[in-house]
Every structure is written in C-alpha cells, then in structure tokens.
Structure 1
Amino acid sequence: MIKKGDIILIVAVSAMVIAGIIGFNFYKNTHKDVKKIAVIKKDNKVIRTIDIDNVENPERITVEGKYTNIILVEKGRIRFENADCPDLVCVKTGWLSEKGDLAVCLPNQAIIKIEGETEEVDGITY
C-alpha cells in the first residue's frame, strides 16, 4: 500500500532528477566552444593542428615512428584508424569529438587531443 509519505518522496526524487537533467543540458549548451581544435603530437612535439568542425572531406594522416599510426579526420571528429603497435589501445579508443577527449599510442608516443578555442577552468579545489 502506498502511503502519502511515499508519494511525496517519489515526487521529490523525480523533481530532483528532472532538475539535474535540465541543469546539465543547460550548462552543456551554454558552455560550447566556438572551435574544437585537434592537436596531433609525436614525441611531445605538435605536428599538426586541425579545426575539426571545418573539415570538409575525410583525411588520413600518417604518423611515422617506431610504429606507424593512421589517423582519420572527419567533420567534427578524429580517431586513430589503424596502427601496427602491439596493443592497439589507441585504435580501440574510438572517435574523439569533445573538448578534453584524448587518445594516446604509448608505443609510438603519438597523441591526439581535442582542445577548445579558449582554455577555461573547469573547477577549483582548495
């Protein structure tokens, strides 16, 4: 049997969940960067930067080193498409499309990171 207190609890929890979803979506939509820049590094040196929102045609970039990485760039996203390193963790990472996304090929020391046009502080801890 549902009591009056149970109904109040269900309504209160539902309201908090809905408010959280609305708040998260509002924050995400109002804090979008104008540009998303993919930075490709090899041996901690920038070898290429790409504004992934302005890519018109898919492009493959080869990163040579101890191993070889093939990077695929499409409109709004980038990934390690293929690699000849032993573990293939970089390939299994999949598509990167949001600011802060990161994929690394440790054996070849290759990195892809999505950066925003401006660096913002996400939070401060004291």
Structure 2
Amino acid sequence: MEVWKYRVLGSVAALLLLLAIVLPFTQTETKEASMADGALVGGIKDSPAGQDNDLHIVDLARYAVNEHNNKANALLEFENVVKVKQQVVAGTMYHITVQVNEGGAKKLYEAKVWEKQWENFKELKEFKPVEGGASA
C-alpha cells in the first residue's frame, strides 16, 4: 500500500516539474504574438508618421465633429487633424486631436472614435476640449 502512495506522489512531482519548465516558454510565445507590430492589444500607441493626413483619419475626424455638432447643437467647423493615436479593441479606438474653428477662434478637441471596418461601424465615444486647447 505504501508503494502506491510513493508512485502517485512521484508522478505528481514529475508533472509539476514539467509544468514549471514548459509554462514560461508558452507565456513568452503568447506575449510575443500579442505584441506583433509593436502593438499590445488594448494598449494606446502613436499612429505612424503622416497618418494625420491620411484620408481615412480625416474622414473619421470630420465624422467626430459632425456627430458632436448634432448631439450638442454646436457649430464647430473642422480645420485639420493635429495628432492621432490608436488602441486595438474589438476594432480600433482612434484618439484624434482635432483643430476646429469655434466662432472665429481656433480650438483643440480630442475625439475618441470606435470603428469596426469589417462591420461598417463607427461611433463617437467622446469629444472634449483639450486642456489649454486654444491654438495659434
């Protein structure tokens, strides 16, 4: 009877040792796979240089200003995209800093637009003034 206990304990110990050796390698591969292109899923990253002039980004920025105007009964006029960041979610969350004309004054706003291109879906999640957002 005692021999049986030692065999079970030995098998459990061998399994735990195997897991201790294999587990760190599987975690490393998973982490590297999730960081493809330098983007960690859920992490906010700067968009590639020149993307602020990308037509798709400009369209999203115009969409954000129009949606804000409709919801807030405002009259902001889109000027240009100043900065873009992206966050991978179920789709992409764009953090777009936009320059607008507000009653003759140029001001900066940050818009968060969630987009799932494969579903032809986009939604304005947030539109707020940038602190010290008056622009020269």
Higher helix share: 2
- Ranked by relative contact order (alpha carbons within 8 Å, sequence separation 6 or more), the top structure is 1
Output the TM-score relative to the length of structure 1: 0.33
Larger radius of gyration: 2
Q: TM-score of the superposition, structure 2-length normalised?
A: 0.32
